Structure 1
């Protein structure tokens, strides 16, 4: 039976990481490896992890080169057959998320499991702002700029063995570049779980203001060029705008 390695990267996350580790505590999956990789926080992040993280199996705090470096450290330290990530301002939407994921991986031919995500207000996390409904990671969707929500994405270790890890050169879009590289270059078998798996606080390095969105999408376009993915800029931009509009519309409908 496959075992899950879950990785949380954090840095000065004392305000939110308690929700993250408590949501892992509540998971009904009986066995998992849970790694916390901290970038030498100067606040109470690690004290909270030590106090609240009952299911944390290992935690390390040391300087790093950013979140994607922390991801790579977590992958290198992990031992599970399946790898997933939960960031320090995210938390699981229900206690059965990880059990549902690993049930899908009982089929040894499955390489990928993913689902949906909601963006919530950073303070009032019951208030839904956007709903990200992940689309199938086909080559056509990847070219248009559509990909699964990364915190809902779980991959077998063999995918990392084939595709490599996160490229630190993409500081604004390392997760997107990685997913494009995986789904554009490999033929994988996936399962989509049509449920909200993760609640993510809005804002952050790539989910905040207009300028940050522009920087991220420029990085995504550069990654597409580097990977040999060709798609018209106008079409790419229109797909991104429409996707964001649909996310907000679903968020409004969810609060009615």
Structure 2
């Protein structure tokens, strides 16, 4: 039996009795759909000819060609099928969990691979470090689609930044640049990506591109002393390059 009481002076009395069953609780009436929006949805609806594929009819394919991605049919069901495959591999999930749920085991595996890469890099084993960073990035990209995409972007950006350094130390400036570009694409305001890109471009002696990259990075972090010093060095290199080009032209004219 419920009892009425208060929790302190001046506070209203209330009951801690049992909550009535759902059917007895007052339910908010469902709002009818917006007729204008409903009309727009119906007008834009276009039926799609599909078939279901293995395993167990859990993936969607275009009917004419039985393809997941089909140019002829202008169809791409890869994102939908990724969710379907994930649910297929996790039969205990009746529906995707809320986006604030994070797979802790996957997070631990990603972090472990990244830390192993850091250990190898510090010991000078850059090839093994690159392998571990690649593994960590691959694991991060496998996060279920219902998890917040920002988490995956943070993880991949961090690992790619580390791998860019390893490639740079290995003398593979192209791959170092590609990884830096990936970091920027995932996390543009992070000055670290622009710093990595600048370092790669400096090694390739692409001074104009390097200057543009470091200036963009400084826009996001104006107080970065290391990038400011890089800009000074790049400006000096550009000036020397311009002077050398001018001297060569002068020699040709004199000849």
- Give the TM bin, normalised by the shorter chain: under 0.3
Q: Of Structure 1 and Structure 2, which has the larger fraction of its residues in strand?
A: 1
Q: Which has the higher helix share?
A: 2
Query: Comparing both chains, which one has the higher relative contact order based on Cα–Cα distances under 8 Å and sequence gaps of 6 or more?
Result: 1
Q: Which has the larger radius of gyration?
A: 2
Taking structure 2 as the reference length, the TM-score comes to 0.25
